[in-house]
Amino acid sequence: MKTLKNYKAQGERLAEKQKKLQEQVMEKQKQKPEKKESKPMQAGARKYPEPPVGNQHLKKPGKEKNLEVKPMYDAPYYKGSGKLQDMVAVITGADSGIGRSVAVLFAREGADVSIVYLSEHEDAVKTKELVENEGRKCILIPGDVSDKEFCQLAVRETIDKLGKIDILVNNAAFQLHVEEFEDLTEEHFDLTLKTNLYGYFLMCHAAVPFMKYGSAIVNTGSVTGITGNKYLLDYSMTKGGIHAFTRSLSSNLISKGIRVNAVAPGPVWTPLNPSDKEEKQIAKFGSTTPMKRPAQPEEIAPAYVFLASPQCSSYITGEILPIIGGYKGG
């Protein structure tokens, strides 16, 4: 039986072993040449813009047509294969950004699209043309998703013009940075919650009664809803709420055969951020991710296809899919 003296000696031997390992590692590190700063990761079918992507500030609500560096949304290497054949999708905030790319890929997969948007009419018309170029029908419905009656109207218009609703994508959002907590006004806070939370709730409330067994809802969350953001307190709170709403609604709608999931993007080059940040902040946008660049909408949109398609994700509901350009670790 070992004594305390034996264990003391054992501990000293282990400490000496740890010291030697440390010295070996440090010696190897000294022998290696100094690492150069890595370049932004490019692992896609084509090269994407790297910071500084642009330094242009846009006025709200932010129009894609006014951006000098255009978001990449058309995914020319993405080949459709009928994953959403003859389905009908309602997509809010689909005039530009992620929503536009989702609309294009949904159409490429065989879906007709109803685009619900605020007031960016020229952007919306462009998206409609893109959907129709894919050989599918598209209608435009401008209005405010925080208005219950408008959401009901949007659903009725979609059913009247396109016949049904198989997929609802809640994507419309309001975001505005505030550096000091005291400067976050009640009016600002209320507008963010009404757009980002009420809008999702009201669109779901209006659409679900008309969605059949096998339908799908895909919500747009955010990395800020996972990690928080000190300058986006209200926005982060709504995105965390969307994640919880997604999980809870998925459980509630299982009996109706409706799947509910969310995509949680990291920084994505869309009009949302240039219409929020100042020029110097925009220049660095996306540079702090492990991939050292922002995503482009076409890099995010395939996840919506995946979660919307019964061919791809029939056993998935209540999931939050982060697409954030990698993890840094502890």
Residue with tokens 């600002």: 188
Catalytic residue among 48, 73, 117, 235: 235
Report d(CA 255, CA 234) in Å as an integer: 33
Rounded Cα gap, residues 25 and 21, in angstroms: 6
DSSP, res 211: P
Q: Is 315 in the active site?
A: no
Kindly give the residue spans of alpha helices, DSSP state H, lying in the chain.
Answer: 4-31, 97-108, 121-133, 148-162, 186-193, 199-207, 224-227, 233-253, 279-283, 297-308, 310-313
Cα–Cα nearest to 48, from 321, 297, 303: 297
Nearest to 173 by CA among 106, 239, 244: 239
How far apart (Å, rounded) are the C-alpha atoms in residues 92 and 106? 14
- CA 88 from chain centre, in angstroms, equals 21
Of 111, 40, 117, 121, residue with least CA distance to 299: 40
Structure tokens given for 73 = 């949304």
Residues marked active site are found at 235
